[in-house]
């Protein structure tokens, strides 16, 4: 098991290296001039060259890439004698717009992102799998039809629509909730929770359908397996047959999808929900950095999202090993 | 919910036999029509005795055995007829009552142990679980019992192997583990559904010996389901030959195998290789394939594949369904065939002289 995890981590490191290279190539291929952006509107030719030099943009592609990689482990210094910005390791560069190290920006945004992703993921996993199991067990009955069609209805809606609708109903009309937004949990847990209810619900509505359908079909498949029949033939109660025998085997495809969904949610894919509710997460950061042509931040967010997704997949593989003993030995 | 076609048939008295199945019918409604997997099957079995149910795939053997465990309950199957086990009627029994019998009084060895054992739980824990369902035992006691059972079925180093998962066992060992699991609560009726199909011949013999030894030890009644007449000859007291969900021949092993009465049984016997036989001689398979269970051929269900139907006058085989009639000179041998005794004697003489 230990060697298995180590191997998975090493493979992940290689994948991340490749991704960093690709993002760097794209960085180079883009037609904008970062030095010009950093310089501002009134910019002399000499000033531009200085900035270009201080950002290392006058060097060759390979030198820049190796500088970037070095920065990840040793940190970097930007600027000249007049303005010196130190970017401690692991350094992903500094934002052209704010002069802040990209990693610091990411870490400032990360808690909001994580709260949004984890909270909604826990709900849609539990509710989705629960509904799926119930639908599978009561196949063809009313509750099955309601669960499946209700889930389909949810997924057909768009998050900006759902989000706005929820805000209108709960905040404006009935005034049950305060305006949603992000308050750090360390600052005020109650406000944190209240502000995130609607964003969570929005994401849950979006993701629930897939989990319901996936776990329903997976459960239906495993309930037809021979070992489930064996479990019944032992005289086990229905509850034990369903939860201990069928669900344990039926949960594996859900674990895979969940790992990826959680990874991409943490990595900032909930950008529309973030925007609707005014939460400054990483998704919003990525979009803003594209509008501002803030290339180090674009790269930083891309790499960050990739890292989270790759790590989530490592976790999925480990969980797989825990669930299925056949994987453990492979 | 299973729908009982007729929960109370003619005879409601509990029979004297340990197991008595009367006119069992298991029908599955499908979009294409009603699949009559089992249609009017009856047999009885005493404790300590073994019944072999023989037939091709889709003849209703496994469906019959699953109904003895009440495993059709909760499915769309319509179960009719009566199953009396030790004075209790199983067909109309509630799911919760049935659950109390499963694994304890009736247990089953399934066909393919690799898929019948849960891949994610250790062999020992699966056996222990079967014990704990019906006994108030601590985890430790159940575990000890599981190890004891593994030892009983001849698994070396049972303490260590109990922690292994099914995929770490060989085919024969898995079947042994399956047997250990089905015997952990000392069942009075043991159903073995093709217990040796997936195994090679030497392991097959070991498994059959094991079932027989354990039967002697526990005095259980055993039903063995197979398409291998060799297995039946070796282990059974009685034989039930099924075709298209119906009985076509039923009697003691001696009667049925020594003087088979139905052309289908002849076909089964002829399609078996003989150890002392000529290697160059080709096996003689039954022509055609098993019938559709939705639309059984009219008359005798076997008639499209039967090479003797011409010898019955008036084409009765294609029109009239033959009744199960007692065979002269034996106490419980019955067969459903329109051929007369003389015809059969003639055909048998021809077959033996032809083989020589």
Instruction: Specify the number of domains making up chain B.
Output: 1
What tens digit of pLDDT does each residue of A196-251 get?
Answer: 999 999 999 889 888 999 999 999 999 999 999 999 999 999 999 999 999 999 99
Instruction: Identify the pLDDT of residue A157.
Output: 81
For A170-179, the CB contacts below 8 A with 24+ separation are A170/A198, A171/A198
Q: Which of A233, A239, A324, A329 to mutate to test the interface with B (most CBs of B within 10 A)?
A: A233
Enumerate the residues of chain A whose CB falls inside 8 A of the CB of residue B111. Answer: 226
B186 has a chain A CB within 8 A of its CB: no
Enumerate the residues of chain A whose CB falls inside 8 A of the CB of residue B108. Answer: 233
| Contact flag B129-A234 (C-beta cutoff 8 Å) | yes
B36 has a chain A CB within 8 A of its CB: no
B112 has a chain A CB within 8 A of its CB: yes
Closest Cβ–Cβ partner in A232, A234, A324 for B120: A324
Q: Could you tell me which chain A residue has the CA closest to the CA of B135?
A: A235
* More confident: A177 or B164: B164
Q: Could you tell me which chain B residue has the CA closest to the CA of A226?
A: B116
Domain assignment present for residue B248? The answer is: yes
Strand pairing report for B325-326 and B19-30: unpaired
Enumerate the residues of chain B whose CB falls inside 8 A of the CB of residue A229. Answer: 71, 110, 116
Domain assignment present for residue B323? The answer is: yes
Enumerate the residues of chain A whose CB falls inside 8 A of the CB of residue B104. Answer: 235
Instruction: Identify the pLDDT of residue B351.
Output: 64
Residue B14 burial (CB count, 10 A): 14
* CATH code for the structural domain at A103-329: 1.10.3720.10
Shortest Cα distance, chain A CAs vs residue B305, angstroms: 33
Cα B247 to Cα B324: distance, rounded to the nearest angstrom: 8
Q: What is the CA radius of gyration of chain A?
A: 24
What tens digit of pLDDT does each residue of B6-46 get?
Answer: 444 445 566 788 999 999 999 999 998 899 999 999 999 99
| Contact flag A230-B118 (C-beta cutoff 8 Å) | yes
Strand-pairing partners, residue B24, are B41
What tens digit of pLDDT does each residue of A109-133 get?
Answer: 999 999 999 999 999 999 999 999 9
What tens digit of pLDDT does each residue of A8-50 get?
Answer: 889 889 998 998 888 888 777 776 677 777 676 777 888 888 7
What tens digit of pLDDT does each residue of A131-148 get?
Answer: 999 999 988 889 888 888
User: Hey, where are the domains in chain A?
Assistant: 2-92, 103-329
Instruction: Identify the pLDDT of residue B1.
Output: 46
Q: What average pLDDT does this structure show over A90-112?
A: 86
Shortest Cα distance, chain B CAs vs residue A216, angstroms: 17
Q: Could you tell me which chain A residue has the CA closest to the CA of B182?
A: A234
Enumerate the residues of chain B whose CB falls inside 8 A of the CB of residue A249. Answer: 118-120
The range of the structural domain enclosing residue B7 comes to 1-96+190-202+221-274+284-356
Domain assignment present for residue B210? The answer is: no
List helix spans (H) across chain B: 61-68, 95-101, 113-116, 123-134, 139-152, 158-161, 171-183, 201-218, 229-235, 253-258, 263-270, 316-319, 341-355
Shortest Cα distance, chain B CAs vs residue A326, angstroms: 7
B 50-109 → A contacts, CB under 8 A: 69, 71, 99-104, 107-108
List helix spans (H) across A224-294: 226-233, 238-240, 247-250, 252-264, 271-276, 282-291
Instruction: Identify the pLDDT of residue B353.
Output: 53
Closest Cβ–Cβ partner in B110, B133, B165 for A230: B110
Cα B143 to Cα B161: distance, rounded to the nearest angstrom: 12
| Contact flag B108-A233 (C-beta cutoff 8 Å) | yes
pTM of the model: 0.82
Enumerate the residues of chain A whose CB falls inside 8 A of the CB of residue B99. Answer: 235-237
Enumerate the residues of chain B whose CB falls inside 8 A of the CB of residue A233. Answer: 69, 71, 102-103, 107-108, 110
Percent of chain A with pLDDT over 90: 28
What tens digit of pLDDT does each residue of A243-273 get?
Answer: 999 999 999 999 999 999 999 999 888 888 8
Q: Could you tell me which chain B residue has the CA closest to the CA of A140?
A: B76
Interchain CB contacts (distance < 8 Å): A and B: 67
SS (H, E, C) B274-311: CCCCCCCCCCCCCCCCCCCCCCCCCCCCCHHHCCCHHH
Cα A264 to Cα A283: distance, rounded to the nearest angstrom: 10
Instruction: Identify the pLDDT of residue B8.
Output: 45
Asked whether the beta carbons of B20 and B44 are under 8 A apart, the reply is: yes
Cα B262 to Cα B339: distance, rounded to the nearest angstrom: 9
Domain assignment present for residue B228? The answer is: yes
Enumerate the residues of chain B whose CB falls inside 8 A of the CB of residue A323. Answer: 120
Domain assignment present for residue B134? The answer is: no
Pick out chain B residues at pLDDT < 70.
1-14, 275, 277, 351-356
Cα B22 to Cα B19: distance, rounded to the nearest angstrom: 10
Whichever domain contains B324, its CATH number is 3.40.50.300
Enumerate the residues of chain A whose CB falls inside 8 A of the CB of residue B110. Answer: 226, 229-230, 233
Q: What is the mean pLDDT of chain A?
A: 86
């Amino acid at each position: 098991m230990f060697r298995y995890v180590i191997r998975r981590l090493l493979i992940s490191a290689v994948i991340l290296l490749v991704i960093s290279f690709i993002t760097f190539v794209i960085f180079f291929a883009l037609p904008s001039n970062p030095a010009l952006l950093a310089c501002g509107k009134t910019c002399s030719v000499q000033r531009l060259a200085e900035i270009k030099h201080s950002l290392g943009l006058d060097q060759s592609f390979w030198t820049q890439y190796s500088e970037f990689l070095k920065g990840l482990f040793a940190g970097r210094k930007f600027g000249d004698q007049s303005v010196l910005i130190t970017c401690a390791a692991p350094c992903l560069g500094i934002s052209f717009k704010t002069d802040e190290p990209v990693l610091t920006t990411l870490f400032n945004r990360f808690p909001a992102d994580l709260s949004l992703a984890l909270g909604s993921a826990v709900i849609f996993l539990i509710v989705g799998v629960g509904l799926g199991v119930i639908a599978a067990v009561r196949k063809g009955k009313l509750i099955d039809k309601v669960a499946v069609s209700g889930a389909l209805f949810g997924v057909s809606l768009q998050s900006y629509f759902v989000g706005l609708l929820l805000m209108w109903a709960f905040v404006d009309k009935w005034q049950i909730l305060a305006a949603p937004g992000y308050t750090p949990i360390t600052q005020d847990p109650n406000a944190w929770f209240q502000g995130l209810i609607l964003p969570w619900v929005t994401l849950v509505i979006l993701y629930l359908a897939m989990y319901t359908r996936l776990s329903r079909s997976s459960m239906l498949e495993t309930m037809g397996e021979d070992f489930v029949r064996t479990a019944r033939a032992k005289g086990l109660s229905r509850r034990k047959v369903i939860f201990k025998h069928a669900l344990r085997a039926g949960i594996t495809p859900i674990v895979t999808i969940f790992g990826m969904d959680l990874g991409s949610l943490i990595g900032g894919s909930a950008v529309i929900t973030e925007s609707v509710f005014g939460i400054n997460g990483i998704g919003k950061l990525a979009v803003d950095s594209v509008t501002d042509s803030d290339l180090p931040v674009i790269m930083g967010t891309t790499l960050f999202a990739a890292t989270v997704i790759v790590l989530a997949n490592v976790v999925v593989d480990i969980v797989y090993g825990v669930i299925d003993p056949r994987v453990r030995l492979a | 919910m299973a729908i009982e076609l007729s929960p109370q048939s003619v005879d409601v008295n509990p029979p004297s036999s340990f197991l008595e199945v009367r006119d069992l019918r298991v029908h599955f409604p499908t979009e294409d029509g009603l699949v009559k997997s089992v249609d009017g099957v009856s047999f009885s079995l005493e404790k300590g005795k073994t019944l072999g149910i023989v037939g091709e795939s889709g003849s209703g053997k496994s469906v019959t055995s699953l109904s003895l465990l009440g495993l059709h309950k909760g499915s769309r199957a319509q179960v009719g007829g009566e199953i009396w086990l030790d004075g209790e009627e199983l067909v109309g029994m509630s799911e919760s009552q049935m659950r109390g019998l499963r694994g304890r009084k009736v247990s089953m060895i399934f066909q393919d142990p690799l898929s019948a054992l849960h891949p994610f739980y250790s062999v020992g824990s699966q056996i222990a679980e079967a014990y704990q369902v019906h006994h108030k035992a601590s985890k430790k006691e159940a575990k000890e019992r599981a190890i004891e059972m593994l030892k009983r079925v001849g698994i070396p180093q049972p303490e260590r192997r109990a922690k292994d998962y099914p995929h770490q066992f060989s085919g024969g060992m898995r079947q042994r583990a399956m047997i250990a699991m089905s015997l952990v609560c000392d069942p009075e009726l043991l159903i073995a559904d093709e217990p040796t199909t997936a195994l090679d011949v030497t392991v097959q013999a070991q498994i059959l010996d094991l079932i027989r030894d354990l039967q002697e030890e526990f005095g259980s009644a055993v039903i063995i389901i197979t398409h291998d007449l060799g297995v039946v000859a070796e282990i059974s007291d009685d034989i039930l030959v099924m075709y298209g969900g119906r009985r076509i021949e039923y009697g003691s092993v001696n009667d049925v195998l020594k003087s088979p009465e139905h052309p289908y049984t002849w076909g089964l016997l002829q399609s078996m290789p003989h150890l002392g036989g000529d290697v160059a001689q080709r096996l003689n398979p039954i022509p055609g394939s098993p019938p559709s269970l939705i639309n059984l051929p009219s008359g005798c269900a076997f008639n499209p594949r039967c090479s003797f139907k011409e010898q019955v006058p008036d084409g009765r085989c294609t029109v009239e369904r033959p009744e199960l009639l007692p065979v002269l000179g034996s106490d419980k041998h019955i067969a459903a065939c329109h051929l007369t005794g003389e015809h059969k004697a003639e055909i048998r003489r021809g077959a033996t002289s032809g083989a020589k």
